[in-house]
Structure 1
């Protein structure tokens, strides 16, 4: 690392503020990450130099600037230069100590830690939201009444759908994970409906797959009630759901953080168990007996 790579704390924070609340693509986030990493010199870099740092194309840098509301990269660079010329007051520059000590102080406010702190805030928001449980209770009741229980999660949401399904299968007799698109998705929805399903749990997260939206439309058309976990009540999937459980998604790194949606999925599973406690307890006890007989766990 050379001197130009040391990030002034205040400058990095001001650069990061430019992107807060803006939905960026993974490529655009790589550019944002590079600008934050080189906040001390970013105001003096050309579009080509930024592209080289982020390992993207120069047109991607232009589109990135426009996504932030600027006419192009030169306008964004002028804004960055304002940060360099007018540093924020009240934030003393690191002084004294070793260079390594200065770097540790810089790292205390790096963008990765800031992203994790934002996730902690998202979990706090979720906790506050759950102070009113009527919607969650209704969602749990609707899903508990569906046998089989189809669970939709495509692309980024597929791991969450499988995570939910792994545990839900311990308290529900027939959980069907729908994590692949294509023509088979429509068939599997129809098969679930014909087998007796009355509801669908859908997890639809940014960037919203078109196939997921189509699947929600089909689900309602064939008579399934849709319970939706998504990042916002303004999500394009929300208008295709009967019950929406908005849950924030972290968007400060190159790829999204899904701590809050995962927590929501587990809270929803608890609501499903609460809606049919007898069956849930019976199936859990049955699983424990089976696991013990098969010596599944070390402890």
Structure 2
């Protein structure tokens, strides 16, 4: 079921709902932003119906249970909420359980990413990394650290990596020579950066192949891509959850390094000697070592 059809489906089926289900339907229609973040028990208490009525309501809408309905609601709103609205919604969380709830949310994102993983597409993307004349990595706003991470570690494997995470004007300058022999890897999650979309659109117009690392096939960068790698990033607060996207990116780095392990070993050995002489890293207390500097 498409998440965009959820509110329409509620309207279409309203006349067939029981009295309790109609109360739930009205509540969700008027407060779907809040309903997406409460338990079935709490929603039932708020509306004045039993928890079992809430569960049956989810079944009546065609979902396998309340958790699936809740995910549909979260997907529906995730592109509409501002940062202020996000933190207002999550302010209702029990402060004593914030750590546990956020960790559980990240675990759920990882599991969902595993369930939807496309190994064939993943392997083709790794192939493209080695076939490209130059690899551009584009990630802005909250995706900027992901782009930096991917670019930094791919730089140990490939000599042709360019990381683009500045303003669009600077992005144009970095990508001015992009062409048909190049690969552009775009990273974007809700709320999607329009600058990232524009940068990928430019790369596409210049004939480059495009890889999208994003949360769904309806993402604006997925529509531009030759290959799409999906990672779930359901939000637990105003800060985006990047756990699953980072894990996916880490897998790309590992896969690429395994293709050229001898070259990577030689390069890292040279760097280790340099880092040691320059005292770049600091050992744990009591084990000796130098002073850590910026990588």
TM-score bucket (shorter structure): 0.5 to 0.7
Asked if 1:117 corresponds to 2:80, the answer is: no
Which residue in the other structure is 2:197 paired with?
A: 213
**Native 8 Å contact 1:160 1:262 kept in 2:** yes
| TM-score, normalised via structure 1 length | 0.64
1:142 and 1:199 in contact (8 A); partners too? yes
Deviation (angstroms), 1:243:
0.7
Tell me which residue corresponds to 2:277: 293
Pick from 166, 170, 193: which aligns with 1:180? 166
Q: Give 1:257 deviation, angstroms.
A: 1.1
Tell me, in whole angstroms, the C-alpha distance in 2 between the residues paired with 1:259 and 1:174.
27
Structure 1, unaligned runs of 5 or more: 1-7, 38-105
Would you say 1:26 and 2:12 are equivalent positions?
no
How far does the alpha carbon of each residue in 1:55-87 deviate from its partner, in whole angstroms, 9 at most, with x for none? xxxxxxxxxxxxxxxxxxxxxxxxxxxxxxxxx
* Contact persistence 1:229–1:245 (CA under 8 A): yes
1:216 touches 1:226 (CA, 8 Å); kept in 2? yes
SS of 2:173 mapped into structure 1? helix
Distance 1:298 1:111 in 2: 33
Measured on the aligned residues, the alpha-carbon RMSD in Å equals 3.1
| Long gaps (5+) in structure 2 | 1-38, 47-66, 284-295
Aligned length: 220
Q: 1:154 aligns with which of 128, 140, 159?
A: 140
Structure 1 CA distance for aligned equivalents of residues 235 and 44 of structure 2: 16
Q: Quote the Cα distance in structure 1 between the aligned partners of 2:154 and 2:44.
A: 42
**Structure 1 residues 203 and 14: CA distance shift in structure 2, 3 A:** farther
What is the TM-score with the length of structure 2 in the denominator?
A: 0.65
Q: Name the CA distance, whole Å, in 2 between partners of 1:13 and 1:216.
A: 45
258, 265, 268: which one aligns with 1:284: 268
Q: Which has the higher contact order (CA 8 A, sep 6+)?
A: 1
